[in-house]
Chain A
């Protein structure tokens, strides 16, 4: 059984890194800011995995995203997933050439299953992370939203996830739009929407404000990894501290020596 994972998600919008609250974006800083406040070569040692998403609300600049991806992942020897607006196999390959190991897909899961299958044929299903954004409607029922949370998908979230279970993907990134950026903890009720025979790893996202929320998520048997995209709550050595506290609890997270072990 693999150890549970802590994942940090970076949200990119045309050259800037963003804070998202209920999918409304606020600019935090550009790649220089990120480098200054999150030294990734160092920070990456406090996380198990990094996800970088292009959530640009205007027209996407794919080339600029790739350049940015290359910059933030340099010197980061942890798994990296990237995505946001991937519509062609060539774009997926370009992300892999820019430092990504896995591709995050979202909207196409619901309206272009053929594209997902083509990606899986080319890259292997284990290379695909299915990202699903969920929001409760007025009656409290979950619905899936696509295109950066702008468009609802027809049908119940339960049906959408049952359909998704038939697609060749390697992991599920389950994100709560209602809890996104609020810092009030994950919405574990999303997990009840999964079919009983769900068989791929689940990443829980949306709402973590501190390490105690991460602990709640990691404690759930269906959850394989927890993610946070909160750029400000974990600034500086926040991720490192969160990991240390979780290990003291004790969660059985992966361990590795400090980087100075590589000095001759």
Chain B
């Protein structure tokens, strides 16, 4: 397995991601250095917190350009939770903020109308329907439980993207795959063996 770089930009449960990846036998390192990110073959972008703050932090450190550079050089990138949302075009948490634009979808809050009494944040294990051929879900059942904790989501109809979906009042994108770019709205590092199997699939890509 190639070395994995977990991007540290001050937002997220880096340790959890790191220990899951190491548990699976991969060599993993935390980095906030744009040059290491730009040269990496495999990247994980974790993240917990506000979209705006996260993008500000990525831009201030030049990590946004480093991620683009790596992805253009065919690095495999996995965004987790906020990390997946950052792949999108625009985030609406805390005002509109431009995202990394690697996945052609915006990130909006669950609106009270569509929730039909369901609670926000969406917290807990929910079943995810794997899209046919989704590489992250290879070997997993067509529907498997993953742990979510979020109040914002991407709508599931995304052009040129393989979208595995979940439902919380409305369907939303639980995981995306577009070439070498991957994202999960749920936390695979917190989703017991289902999550470990998914992470192993990413590590083996």
Contact = CB atoms under 8 A, between A and B. Distances in A.
13 contacts: A2-B168, A4-B124, A48-B124, A79-B149, A79-B190, A80-B16, A97-B14, A122-B49, A124-B82, A126-B151, A200-B121, A256-B191, A258-B193
Contacts of A44: 192
A77 B123 contact: no
Interface of A: 1-5, 44-45, 48, 74-75, 77-80, 96-102, 121-127, 170-171, 199-201, 224-225, 254-259, 261-262
A30 to B, nearest CB: 23
Contacts of A121: 50
Given A1-B126, A2-B124, A45 B48 contact: no
A63 B149 CA distance: 28
A96 B13 contact: yes
A225 B147 CA distance: 14
Contact of B20 (A45, A77, A124): A77
Contact of B191 (A3, A74, A77): A77
Contacts of B65: none
Contact of B192 (A5, A78, A100): A78
A69 B55 CA distance: 30
B14 to A, nearest CB: 8
Contacts of A48: 124-125, 147
B109 interface: no
A206 B48 CA distance: 30
B125 A2 contact: yes
Contacts of A224: 119, 123-124
Interface residues of B, number: 42
Contacts of A99: 15-16
Given A261-B197, A262-B197, 8 more contacts: A44-B192, A75-B23, A101-B187, A123-B48, A126-B151, A170-B121, A254-B145, A259-B193
A262 B167 CA distance: 28
Contacts of B144: 256
Nearest to A170: B121
B196 interface: yes
B187 A79 contact: yes
Interface in B40-62: 48-50
A255 B195 CA distance: 12
A175 to B, nearest CB: 18
A200 B119 contact: yes
Give the most central of B16, B123, B150, B200: most A CB within 10 Å: B123
Contacts of A122: 49
B141 to A, nearest CB: 9
Given A77-B195, A126-B151, A127-B48, A1 B118 contact: yes
A74 B19 contact: yes
Nearest to B147: A79
Contacts of A79: 147, 149, 187, 190
Contacts of B82: 124
Contact of A201 (B19, B123, B145, B194): B123
A41 to B, nearest CB: 10
B15 A97 contact: yes
Nearest to B122: A2
B192 A77 contact: yes
A14 B13 CA distance: 25
B120 interface: yes
Nearest to B189: A77
Nearest to A260: B193
